[in-house]
Amino acid sequence: MLRHLLEAFITFFVIVDPFGSIPIFLTLTANSTAAEQRRIAIKATIVSAAILLFFISLGQLVFDYLSINLHAFKVAGGCVLLVVSFQMIMGFVGQQDVSKNQYTDIAVFPIALPYIAGPGAIMAVILQTDNDAYSVFEQAMVALVMLVVLGINLLFLLSAPFINRLIGKAGNDVLTRVLGLILAAISVQSIFSGIAGFFHIKLS
């Protein structure tokens, strides 16, 4: 079981990517005060934990009941991330007009979903807590590991203002666009992987 938990920790850490969360968070909260940034970081972490815990508990049952193929979910998630990556590259992310009467809670979207609790993280928690392969105790331990990773990610988000002062606006802009390109590549790979898995095609 220890090996499984270590595998789960590495998987969650790579997918959540605390290091990559910093430039995204800085861009989205560029016009927020330090207190607002802390509130957004904490709320995004709580929402992400709730989403992932839901999928750990009921995700596999819901997918089976609705006959949703995991590969189809991977393609859908990849498409959402691709749109977000284009916004990052073009500099549109974080420019929401919060003065208008509309839903602009960036803690929920896009920070919690799809950045932190994205399709990759959702698929990871479902696979790491497979009801047919792991006991309830093992699933609970994996859930605890997932919460630890989210806690680490929260620490990175809370340190974002310090990082912002360190790299400056120009550095943040460069990092955001580079990360946008990387996210676009990951998104396309997710789409290809989902299509290949659905049609049982082996990718080289």
Looking at residue 98, its pLDDT comes to 41
Peptide bond before 119: cis, by omega within 30 degrees of 0? no
pLDDT at 178: 82
Give the residues of the chain that fall short of pLDDT 70: 92-104, 204
Q: Which residue from 179, 159, 174 is spatially nearest to 115, judged by alpha carbons? A: 179
In this structure, is the dihedral angle defined by the CA atoms of residues 97, 99, 100 and 103, taken in order, positive or negative? positive
- pLDDT value, residue 99: 39
Check the CA dihedral 14-15-16-17 and report its sign. positive
Residue 114 DSSP symbol: I
**Domain spans of the chain, in order of start:** 2-13+33-93+103-198
Closest alpha carbon to 9 in 147, 117, 154? 147
C-alpha angle 32-187-163 in degrees, rounded to nearest 5: 30
Could you write out the DSSP letters of every residue in 145-179?
HHHHHHHHHHHHHHTHHHHHHHHHHHHHHHHHHHH
The predicted pLDDT at position 101 comes to: 39
Residues 121 and 112: their CA atoms lie apart, in Å, by 11
Amino acid (1-letter code) at residue 203: L
Give the integer Cα–Cα distance in Å for 81 and 75.
10
CA distance 86 to 96: 15
